[in-house]
Structure 1
């Protein structure tokens, strides 16, 4: 039996504690009473906030209320909205055909930003195909690592590889979120790690760069950052749920 390629990551200092803290934060947020009665409204708001945060991380920051009002027509922002809206429909396909889903995410994210002929096609390069294949193998069941670890590796590897011309960061963040959804960690897509990444953007950039070095310390810093981003996403869910909650009338 082949060794699990991600198993050693669980032995890195403080990673298990960070994963546990994130799991506890998500579990607590998921118990909010608003999710039983206003779950659809909460999910729609989280989708909007994830899209706005992902666009900001890509360098296209806009006020959330302007995006909500539909007055922001910038292509990357519109791409982030399309991606966020499409995630639920891609959950089942993601572990079965990861490369197909990545291509679809790029089309959604980059339409209007790059020539149509380049949409959904990975860039050329000696490492791109093999590394995408290796990543797809992990997503398709090649590891038994916790979902948050796999999501962080998917995210970090796609950021490092930059396999698409248009908005590779948007694709990377969406793929990470899909991993959490398809694994059952966040089946309803109620956690927006993008909000956490944006709240700690300098750390996000630095930790992603550290992950790309492949060193144990670099990978450790990225895993801890991703766990914290999920915890912050859980806090955002609680905030949205509180704002959405209306007590049932007697």
Structure 2
């Protein structure tokens, strides 16, 4: 059992290469926000970013479930995911205070119309899943010196690994990652699209998740590096960046 003064997330942040990858991701987000505070973000720009993020998340959800009978297939998740991202900022206000409530709310909004009302936001009847979710709740409410990206990455992977709900776990996990980025003032107001970074990584996303699930230190490290790269790519794909612009203001072509 971890001691009351332990900080397991900070321990993960010290894995080789993680600190520098996280710093690069933070710099990429700061570049979008012009070093924070110097860029005015309109409601339309924020809405555009959230729609892009929702659609990328839904596409990943379709890829995860399209071959499973009785589950939404290609494009089947978009409506529910768009509903969820309308509430993403409100859920972000809860994610570090009452995380299990935020997760349950996210699932209920996402899966409305796809599951019976009694199953919305309800963890499946599995004592091991319930205990691991309780552990995640404690982790997200405990103080930590770990960077926001590390916290978000762990929550994302835990929700997919535990799969507490009968459907929609991947979409909820990715949404929770973004909630934590918002709550931690990394992406506030939300203008980046880390979900699109995950989508564009292709098979590397699933391989990185498998590494986390293995429990091996190197597998967890590779997952954290993957998430940092997705956050960096999500900043580069923000609607606030001019089309075709690369780091440092250079343009393609």
TM-score, normalised by the number of residues in structure 2: 0.85
Equivalent pair of 1:75/1:112 in contact (CA under 8 Å): no
Aligned mates of 2:227, 2:142 — CA distance in 1: 21
- 2:237 partner SS: helix
More deviation, 123-132/163-172: 123-132
Report the counterpart of residue 185 of structure 2 in structure 1: 184
- 1:113 partner SS: coil
- 1:47 partner SS: helix
Q: Indicate the structure with greater helix content.
A: 1
Report the counterpart of residue 27 of structure 1 in structure 2: 30
The CA RMSD measured in Å over matched residues stands at 2.1
Equivalent pair of 1:75/1:110 in contact (CA under 8 Å): no
Aligned mates of 1:126, 1:142 — CA distance in 2: 26
Q: Does 1:14 align with 2:17?
A: yes
**Deviations, residues 22-66 of structure 1 (Å, cap 9, x unaligned):** 011111111199x845522211111111111001111269xxxxx
- Matched residue pairs, number? 230
TM-score, normalised by the number of residues in structure 1: 0.86
Aligned mates of 1:187, 1:240 — CA distance in 2: 13
Report the counterpart of residue 205 of structure 2 in structure 1: 204
Gaps of 5+ in 1: 62-72, 244-250
Gaps of 5+ in 2: 65-73, 244-253
What does 1:1-250 align with in structure 2 at a 5 Å threshold? 1-31=4-34, 36-37=39-40, 39-59=42-62, 75-237=76-238, 239-242=239-242
- 2:115 partner SS: coil
- 2:94 partner SS: coil
TM superposition shift of 1:124: 1.6
> CA 1:74/1:199 → structure 2, altered by over 3 Å: closer, same or farther?
closer
Q: Which runs of 4+ in 1 moved over 3 A?
A: 35-38
